[in-house]
Structure formats: structure tokens, C-alpha cells
Structure 1
């Protein structure tokens, strides 16, 4: 078969969609993805953005025989025939899918004279994966780690950047065009290659940013603090790892450099806020932050350390990311230094001193002990056990 088509809204494209496209490639020389631009739907991304995500996702897998065509105000099956395609391919996950797709297939062929449909059944692990399923994951703490398993890399990155952009915009007052332009420029800078979006950021990256801001949301929803306190913690978390290098410049720590970057941004919506946010950023320096005082310090540290108390899969992703960020460190030295840090943090957790805020302690302390003990065992040393 020379050509085969695959259609969908693809908002976002999922690993299930990618599997169907892969099946299409196995039986045809060329695959045409027909991207529906349906005026009755309100997709997260525009048709052009979705087209770019699909192409990037295919390029990531080195699929160079896939093209994307946007369908506007027409039947996909009829557009397919205009492109010389006699067959569309569709994934069938359930009997309900079959009943629906069979009705569409009959309409395509008998009513509008369009392309016929071939049905394929995805493997069990993709049987429940759909765009609506992926969308429903967004929100709770850890949602991004779960979503990552079900969508290709470009779709995941686009989704979390869109989520982060909405989070960012909600922090700044509307109505001042100059301030809005400044905020937008700083968003691009913080999520770009020189900060959280950098290729060498294996843990202190966009994932870390999404997770921490989700933690702030959860803390806020469960404890109902003043909105001003929430906004101060959010701003501090956005900037706390903005500067992250292995060698401090001129003796200035990453935390101090990040605090200075925040002050440089001129984003504070209140003159008293600037120094408060800078203080919270400095507090995340776990070696020298003990000298920093602020009423929200325990909240900020709780958000930053909450990763230690996640489920095993997320924690191990974090541990691998930390190792990758220190790939330049020889294994024996890394094992020794990492072991000392973990033993120190575990000791604090065992003494109920790791999380100074009760809400974070109740959520994460016990699992943090389990996670750190397990990692210490993998390092070949379990101090104090």
C-alpha cells in the first residue's frame, strides 16, 4: 500500500495515537495524519500548534514518512480521497469504540464516498490511553509525572509549558502593558535553555517547577493561608533554582544568585514583597539557609523537599535526575557525598525535623524515610542501620 491516513483532533497526541501511526507505517510507504480543526471543540492548542507537536513527535522517532494535513470544514474521509488515500486507520480499544467507528465507517463510504477504514487493536498497556484520559490527569500533585508516561516528549513539553504559562500569568496584575511585557519576557527566560528548560537540567528542570507549584496549590487548598502568602511562596519557587551551576561564581551560591536574579526582574507587585521573596529563595540553601528567617520558610522548604516523600517511581526518577546532574562527579565520590546528604536528611526525618510545617510532615515524612533508606541501600551504605 502506498499511502494510508490517520485522523484525529490530537489534543494532545498520545502514545496510543503514536502506536497507530506506527502500525500505519508498517503497512504503507507514507502516512498522512489528518488533523481535525473542529469549530465545535475548544482544544488546548491551535491546529498549527498541534501540527507542530505531531511532526516533532514523529521526528523524535525518526519517522520521516509522516506528513500532517489540517482538515477544515470538510469530512476527513473525503479529504483523504482527494489526497489519493483509499484507507484510513483507526485504533479500536473497546466494543463501544467499534460500534462508534463502524457507524462512522459506513457513513464515510456509503454517504460521502470517502476512504474506507482499517481497524487495529492496541496492546493492553495502551488500551485506556486517549486524549481525554490524559487531560483528566492534570491537577493533583504529581500529575505531570503520570502524564509523561502516556504522551510523546514534544506533547508533554508543550502541555506543561502551557500549564506553567497559565500559572505564571495568574501571579501578575493585569492592565499594565509594560509590566505584562516584562513578565512575559521573564517567563521565556525562566523556562528557556539558560534556566529550567536547559538540556543539562536533569532534575532542577521544568518537571521540578511543575511539581513544586502543584505542591503549593495543594498546601493552599488544604490549609487556606492568606493569598499574599501563597503568591510570595509561588514567586520564590519560580526563581529558587533559576541559577543552577556546579561552580559558584565569585563565591556566590546558586541560591544567592537566584535571589539576586529575582530582585533584578522588577516583578514584585508590592514593594515589601521583593525582599521577602529573596529571603525565601536564600532559605533553600540547605547548607547556609539556617541563618535565614521568614514566617513562610517552613512552607518553602516543605515545597522544595516534598519530592523526597513521593511514591517510589517518582522518587527514583528524582534520584536518577540528581545523578545525571552530577555526571561529572566520579562514582565513588558521588556515592560518598550523596550517602552523607541522604543520611543527614533521613536523620532529620526520623526526628520529625525534616519538614518544619505539619501539613508537609503529615503528607511526606514517613515515605521520605522509606525512600531515602532504599536509595542508601542502592548506594551500598546505610549509615546508622
Structure 2
């Protein structure tokens, strides 16, 4: 077979979709993904961005015989026939899928004189994966780590950025902002999510995922404790900037936290919160932090340390990321320093002092002790 088509909204493309495209490649010399632009739907990503995500996902798999075509104002089965595809390929997960797809297939052929359909059945681990399933994951703490298991990396990165953009825009009055203010907001969003900050290639832990996690922790904390809008905004502004400057340079004139505080103070984003946000950023520094007495200090520190109380797979991914982030440090020295840090934090957790905020302590303290004791033992044995 020379060409085969695969169609859908693909918002976002999932690992299930990628599997079907892989099956198509085993049947044909060329695969064309027909990306439907349905005006009746409100997709998460515009068609051009979805096209880029699919193309990047195919490139990462080394697939050079997959192209993407956006279909506007036509049926995908008819568009496929026009592009030389006599067949479309579809994945069937359930009997309900078959009944629906069979009806569509009959319409494509009998009514539209379009491409016929080949059905394939995905493996069991992909049987429940769909775009709607992935979309439904967003929200609770750790949603991004769960989503990561079901979508290719480019789709995951795009979703993370989209989530962060919504978080960022919620902090500032975009609707009533002047052109100059809008430009400033966009400038700082690009800076913070770009290679100079959390999007940097050497940011293996203090990265966009860390930002999403902390902002989600703050939202869930506020929802459960009745914290007001101002408290949420102060904490979120501080979290956006707290690791914006992250340096391993021992010769730095001041800590990364102080540099991040200064970056915030110089940003021009002041909404009357300048000094309070700077204080919360400084609170995450082990040297300056004890001197900070801000009423939200415990919540800020707890959100930053919440990673220590996650489930095994997340905690193990976190420790591996920390190892990559400090790969420039001599391995024996790194293990020694990491073990001392974990022993110190575990001792604080055992004394009930790691999470100063009661909500976070209840959620994470016991698990954090288990995680850090396990890691300390592994570091000692290495």
C-alpha cells in the first residue's frame, strides 16, 4: 500500500494515537495525518499548533514518512481520497467504538465516496487512552505527572505551557491592561518559561514541571484552607519567581533566592505586592529564611518541599532529576552532601517541623519521612 490516512481532532495527540500511526507505517509507504478543524469544537490548541505537535512527535520517533494535513471545510474521508489515500486507519478500543466507527465508515464510503477504513486494536495498556481521557486528568496535584504517561513529549510540553499561561494570566488583569502592560506581561511569561529560567536545558528539576507542581499545591491548599484571593496571589507570584534565578556558582555575590527576589523587584510587575512577594521568595533560602516572619512563609516553604512527600514513582523521578541537575559535582561529594541534606530534613520531619503548614503536614509528612529514609540508606550504600 502506498498511502494510508489517519484522521482526528488529536487535541492532544496521545500515545494511543501514536500507536495507530505506527501501525499505519507498517502497512504503507507513507502516512498522512488528516487533522480536522471542526468549527463546532473548541480545541485546547489551534490547528496549526496541533500540527506542529504531531510533526515533532513523529520526528522524535524517527518517522520521516509521516506528514500532517489540516482539513478545513471538508470531510476527512473525502480529503484522504483527494490526497491519494484509499484507506483510513482507526483504532478500536471497545465494542462501542466499533459500532460508532462502523457507522462513520459506512457514511464515508456510501455517502461521501471517500476512503474506506481499516480497524486495528491497540494493546491493553493503551485501551483506555483518548484525548478526552487525558483532558480529564488536569486539575489535582500531580496531574501533569499522570498525563505524562499517556502523551508524547511534545504534546506534554505544549500542555504544560498552556496550563502555565492560564495560571500566569490569572495573576494579572489582562482584560483591562494597556498595550504596554500586556507587552510586559508577555515578556515576563516568555522569560520565566524560556531557556533563561524554568525552561532551561540544564533545569532537570527546578523546571516547568516544578513550577506546575508548586502552583497546583498552592491552589489546592487555598481551596482546602479557605485562603483568600490575595493570599493565593502572593504565594503564586512568589512561586513563579522563587527559582527564576538558579545558580550553582559558589562565588555568587548572593544566593539564588536573593537574586530571584531582586529579579522580581526589578520586573515592573508590582501590583502593590512588591515587598511581600520578595520576602516570600527569600523565605525559601535556608540562610535568609529563618529571619523571615511573613504570615504565609510556612505555606510557601511547604509548597516548595511538597515533592518530598510524593508517591514512590514521583519521588524516584525527582531524585534522578536532582542527580542530573548536579551532574557537574563530583559523584562522591554529591552523595555525601545529598545524604546530609536528607538526614537534616528527615530529622525535621520526625520532629514535625518540616511542613510548618498544618495542611501540608497532614498530607505529606509521614510519606516524606519514608522517602528520605529510603534515599539516605541508598546513598549510604552507594
> Which runs of 5 or more residues in structure 2 are unaligned?
none
* Distance apart, 1:183 and its partner CA: 1.1
Contact 1:283/1:290 (8 A) holds in 2: yes
User: How far apart, CA to CA, are the structure 2 residues paired with 1:285 and 1:90?
Assistant: 53
- 1:63 partnered with 2:63: yes
Contact 1:35/1:69 (8 A) holds in 2: yes
Distance 1:282 1:381, change over 3 A: farther
Mean Cα deviation higher: 108-117 or 194-203: 108-117
Map of 1:160 onto structure 2: 160
Map of 1:201 onto structure 2: 203
User: How far apart, CA to CA, are the structure 2 residues paired with 1:172 and 1:267?
Assistant: 9
Map of 1:328 onto structure 2: 328
Map of 1:263 onto structure 2: 265
Map of 1:243 onto structure 2: 245
Of residues 252, 255, 264, the one that matches 2:254 is: 252
Q: TM-score, normalised by structure 1?
A: 0.97
Give structure 1 regions of 4+ aligned residues with deviation exceeding 3 angstroms: none
User: How far apart, CA to CA, are the structure 1 residues paired with 2:204 and 2:345?
Assistant: 21
* Distance apart, 1:248 and its partner CA: 4.6
User: How far apart, CA to CA, are the structure 2 residues paired with 1:27 and 1:33?
Assistant: 14
The SS at the match of 1:10 is coil
Task: Report Cα offsets for 1:72-113 as digits up to 9, x if no partner.
Answer: 121111111111111110011111111111111111111211
User: How far apart, CA to CA, are the structure 1 residues paired with 2:309 and 2:186?
Assistant: 33
The SS at the match of 1:354 is coil
Map of 1:176 onto structure 2: 177
User: How far apart, CA to CA, are the structure 2 residues paired with 1:43 and 1:249?
Assistant: 48
User: How far apart, CA to CA, are the structure 2 residues paired with 1:225 and 1:84?
Assistant: 59
The SS at the match of 1:346 is helix
> Which runs of 5 or more residues in structure 1 are unaligned?
none
Map of 2:95 onto structure 1: 95
Mean Cα deviation higher: 27-36 or 324-333: 324-333
Q: TM-score, normalised by structure 2?
A: 0.98
Map of 1:277 onto structure 2: 277
User: How far apart, CA to CA, are the structure 2 residues paired with 1:268 and 1:171?
Assistant: 11
The correspondence of residues 358-377 of structure 1 with structure 2, limited to 5 A, is 358-377=358-377
Map of 1:104 onto structure 2: 104
* Distance apart, 1:295 and its partner CA: 1.1
Map of 1:354 onto structure 2: 354
* Distance apart, 1:218 and its partner CA: 0.3
Contact 1:13/1:151 (8 A) holds in 2: yes
- 1:188 partnered with 2:186: no
Distance 1:268 1:249, change over 3 A: farther
* Distance apart, 1:239 and its partner CA: 0.1
Contact 1:339/1:381 (8 A) holds in 2: no
User: How far apart, CA to CA, are the structure 1 residues paired with 2:250 and 2:136?
Assistant: 42
Mean Cα deviation higher: 279-288 or 351-360: 279-288
Map of 1:306 onto structure 2: 306
The SS at the match of 1:379 is helix
* Distance apart, 1:62 and its partner CA: 1.5
* Distance apart, 1:330 and its partner CA: 1.9
The SS at the match of 1:155 is helix
Map of 1:13 onto structure 2: 13
Contact 1:310/1:367 (8 A) holds in 2: yes
The number of equivalent residue pairs is 380
Task: Report Cα offsets for 1:303-342 as digits up to 9, x if no partner.
Answer: 1001111111111111111011001112211111100000
User: How far apart, CA to CA, are the structure 1 residues paired with 2:201 and 2:77?
Assistant: 41
RMSD: 1.2
